[in-house]
Amino acid sequence: MSNYHIKHLEEYYQVYRKSVRNPEVFWEEIAEEHFMWRKKWDNVLSWDFTKPEVKWFEGAQLNITENCIDRHLYTRGDKTAIIFEPNDPKESAEHITYKQLHDRVCRFANVLKEKGIKKGDRVCIYLPMIPELAISVLACARIGAIHSVVFAGFSASALATRIKDSECKMVITSDGSFRGSKTIDLKGIVDEALDECDTVQNVLVANRIDSKIKMKEGRDYWLEPLLDVASTDCEPEIMNAEDPLFILYTSGSTGKPKGMVHTTAGYMVYTAYTFKNVFQYREKDVYWCTADIGWITGHSYIVYGPLCNGATTIMFEGVPSYPDFGRFWEIVEKHKVNQFYTAPTAIRALAKEGVDHLEKHDLSSLKVLGTVGEPINEEAWHWYDDNVGKKKAPIVDTWWQTETGGIMITPIAFATPTKPTYATLPFIGIQPALMDENGKEIKGNQVDGRLCIKFPWPSMARTIWGNHQRYKDTYFAAFENKYFTGDGALRDEVGYYRITGRVDDVIIVSGHNLGTAPIEDAINEHPAVAESAIVGFPHDIKGNALYGYVTLKETGESRNHDNLRKEINQLITEQVGPIAKLDKIQFTAGLPKTRSGKIMRRILRKIACKDTSNLGDTSTLLNPEIVKGIMDEVL
Ligand code: WTA
């Protein structure tokens, strides 16, 4: 099992050097040793960032579910694959063994086939964190259908946009979902979304909350009766290495969400390899990632990465605050969790509640802690280290993106000495570069710049669904021959990276990427609104909160501002989802613009952060009087 459990820093450097000196030899070895192939590749890698085109393991044939499930049946058939921990702590947890997972995935796959789903068809999955979510993802992969999971907190209109963009043939949902003490009418949201989508032929509905819902005849089917009669055998569809596995939407700084396309072999190899190394997962460990499978973290590190390694992975349906803020720790104790992976926003929310909740629970099983999704501030890092890990569990601060498919810059637990707020070193095979504004690479240490990646890695997204040009423009146009991440970073004196945050108009709120454009579009639909601009400003728990500057049409100026604020947030909730609601709304006489008509968000950001002493270069500003007006009102 060479290179699979890197044990110390020296070994990391050794393996790292090998991986970048001869990437093809390196990845070929990993792929040979640790996966099940129906046919081996003809060529490990071909790539051209100018097109851009990247192919890994071309010519190989496989099915990822054979790697995630079938091959474990002989060695780990009775081992728990998934532990489902329900929203309500009084409902008992469900342990699904690899054998049971196999049967349930096959049944589900047969239902999909029976409803006419074939290789290459897109299936939208809009489900809460219940076993059917992981199972339906795997069932799609089993038959070669492309899943597009949409986080079940998105609104009907956001869901519709995604369904339409990838022309999904089917939607899989549930009657509703539990979220803390509330229930959410998911099927109602799907019905509303489908008013606008004409490609969807069927809706499969899991019964989760036993609610009375409307079923449209000939379109909607309850899932359970179909599963009951389906066979537990389903031959896996043999896929080519570069066949799409899934689409997952992520916000861009402009325009509609981007459907990132991930393909099969490279994604599998990289997510499995990173999972095992970063978290140092061992056979009997119980691993828990608190993300939702609606995000890339859940795809790669709840489903594919862990299952490929035959791990036991927890799916938690609920929220950290229900029934109280001790819930996470109760679950850690109950299932004796060994690796715990969460987001800085959750850590901050829990830290705010003090340590009483922690002290009630035995957390001694914890060996490794992880964070992902946004920069972790120093205070939260120490709180996590002191109180959760008791200074004994290394924190892996993992930097990566929907686009990268897997973890890119991270400590390897027990091997890489950690440093608060630093994602530390590039993972094996990853070649980062910091770039200056003129497009030149900044070499050496103690420097900062825009973070790029110079060389392909197996799990990188291959395109944006239906819009390859946009893929090229967004990621490969800013810097020649490099993938541009959209993040800024610094490299310290020993070569450790610290991610400083987005350098574009994506704002990360509670770990969720929000593009400014769709939110502004929602606001601008209000009849009284002329124009708007959104920026982020620091927030104790969410990391960033949203600040909206809104200019009213003349006809709207006499309206009650508090009512307007409510209506604007209502529009945002409907069109994007409640996570995108604005914390502050300031009505302004105009927005600062450049001569070419671009809104100068940089200035608005500074004002929102009350950091107005130096607004930077304002020479291109068309209307300085507007800036003064906005500042006078704030300060
Ligand atoms: C940010 C989540 C600092 C970053 C896997 C990135 C981070 C964006 C970290 C991608 C981290 C993610 N430290 N920033 N450890 N992890 N980010 O696509 O700005 O939801 O570009 O993928 O989150 O978010 P996404």
User: 249 CB contacts (<8 Å, ≥6 apart)?
Assistant: 148, 150, 162, 165, 257, 258, 259, 260
3-state secondary structure 177-217: EEECCEEECHHHHHHHHHCCCCCCCEEEEECCCCCCCCCCC
User: 502 CB contacts (<8 Å, ≥6 apart)?
Assistant: 486, 487, 488, 508
Q: What pLDDT is attached to residue 253?
A: 65
Q: Which two tokens stand for residue 375?
A: 């920069």
Q: Which of 215 and 504 is assigned the larger pLDDT?
A: 215
**Nearest atom of ligand 1 to the alpha carbon of 407:** 5
pLDDT in tens, 11-21: 999 999 999 99
Alpha-carbon gap, residue 559 to 517, rounded angstroms:
25
Alpha-carbon gap, residue 152 to 577, rounded angstroms:
10
* Angle, vertex CA 140, rays to CA 134 and CA 144, nearest 5: 145
What DSSP element (H or E) covers 449? strand 447-453
Q: Which of 553 and 620 is assigned the larger pLDDT?
A: 553
**Nearest atom of ligand 1 to the alpha carbon of 502:** 19
Chain Cα centroid distance, residue 621: 36
Alpha-carbon gap, residue 307 to 64, rounded angstroms:
10
Write the residue with the smallest CA distance to atom 15 of ligand 1: 399
Of the listed ranges 48-52, 323-327, 539-543, 613-617, the least confidently predicted one is 613-617
Mean pLDDT on 231-238: 98
Write the residue with the smallest CA distance to atom 12 of ligand 1: 373
What DSSP element (H or E) covers 370? strand 368-372
Write the residue with the smallest CA distance to atom 5 of ligand 1: 401
Write the residue with the smallest CA distance to atom 22 of ligand 1: 401
Q: What pLDDT is attached to residue 495?
A: 97
Closest C-alpha to 317, from 562, 565, 93: 93
Contact 451, 434 (CB under 8 A): yes
Tokens 């964190």 sit at which residue?
129
Alpha-carbon gap, residue 493 to 2, rounded angstroms:
30
Q: What pLDDT is attached to residue 1?
A: 41
Residue 355 falls in which region: left (phi positive, over 0), alpha (psi -120 to 50) or beta? alpha
The CB density around residue 444, as the number of other CB atoms within 10 Å, is: 9
| Identity at 340, one-letter amino acid code | F
Closest C-alpha to 316, from 304, 305, 332, 339: 332
The two counts, helices (H) then strands (E), for the chain are 21, 31
pLDDT in tens, 100-114: 999 999 999 999 999
Q: Percent of the chain at pLDDT above 90?
A: 84
- Ligand 1 pocket: which of 292, 293, 374, 500 to mutate (most atoms <8 Å of CB)? 374
Of the listed ranges 59-73, 403-417, 510-524, the least confidently predicted one is 510-524
**Nearest atom of ligand 1 to the alpha carbon of 376:** 13
Q: What is the DSSP string of 56-81?
A: EEET-EE-HHHHHTGGGHHHHTTSEE
Q: Which two tokens stand for residue 34?
A: 């640790």
Write the residue with the smallest CA distance to atom 11 of ligand 1: 399
Residues lining ligand 1, CB < 6 A?
250, 295-297, 372-375, 397-402, 423, 485-487, 499, 502, 508, 513
Alpha-carbon gap, residue 260 to 384, rounded angstroms:
32
pLDDT tier at 3, thresholds 50, 70, 90: low
CA of 258 to the centre of ligand 1 (A): 16
CA of 77 to the centre of ligand 1 (A): 35
Of the listed ranges 80-89, 312-321, 461-470, 609-618, the least confidently predicted one is 609-618
- Ligand 1 pocket: which of 253, 260, 398, 400 to mutate (most atoms <8 Å of CB)? 400
Q: Which two tokens stand for residue 478?
A: 């800013």
CA-CA-CA-CA torsion sign (42, 44, 47, 53): positive
- Ligand 1 pocket: which of 513, 544, 579 to mutate (most atoms <8 Å of CB)? 513
CA of 537 to the centre of ligand 1 (A): 17
**Nearest atom of ligand 1 to the alpha carbon of 250:** 18
Q: Which two tokens stand for residue 455?
A: 């060389």
CA of 418 to the centre of ligand 1 (A): 18
Alpha-carbon gap, residue 479 to 435, rounded angstroms:
8
Contact 234, 377 (CB under 8 A): no
CA of 380 to the centre of ligand 1 (A): 16
Alpha-carbon gap, residue 288 to 83, rounded angstroms:
9
Q: Which two tokens stand for residue 161?
A: 């946009």
Tokens 């927030």 sit at which residue?
539
Contact 528, 537 (CB under 8 A): no
Q: Which of 614 and 466 is assigned the larger pLDDT?
A: 466
Q: Residue 426 — φ and ψ, nearest 5°? A: -60, 140
Q: What pLDDT is attached to residue 157?
A: 92
CA of 86 to the centre of ligand 1 (A): 27
Q: Which of 2 and 406 is assigned the larger pLDDT?
A: 406
The CB density around residue 91, as the number of other CB atoms within 10 Å, is: 12
Secondary structure class of 533 (helix, strand, coil): strand
Tokens 């897109």 sit at which residue?
122
pLDDT in tens, 424-452: 999 999 999 999 989 999 999 999 999 99
Alpha-carbon gap, residue 530 to 518, rounded angstroms:
16
Contact 121, 170 (CB under 8 A): yes
Q: What pLDDT is attached to residue 596?
A: 67
Secondary structure class of 114 (helix, strand, coil): helix
CA of 404 to the centre of ligand 1 (A): 10
CA of 299 to the centre of ligand 1 (A): 15
Alpha-carbon gap, residue 328 to 74, rounded angstroms:
33
pLDDT tier at 600, thresholds 50, 70, 90: confident
Tokens 């996966």 sit at which residue?
35
Write the residue with the smallest CA distance to atom 4 of ligand 1: 374
Read off the pTM: 0.91
CA of 295 to the centre of ligand 1 (A): 11
Alpha-carbon gap, residue 258 to 327, rounded angstroms:
34
Closest C-alpha to 530, from 554, 547, 553, 555: 553
Q: Is the pLDDT of residue 2 over 60?
A: no
CA of 372 to the centre of ligand 1 (A): 6
Write the residue with the smallest CA distance to atom 25 of ligand 1: 401
DSSP code of residue 254: S
Secondary structure class of 522 (helix, strand, coil): helix
CA of 509 to the centre of ligand 1 (A): 11
CA distances from 47 to 54, 429, 462, 464 (A): 4, 15, 11, 17
Q: What pLDDT is attached to residue 516?
A: 86
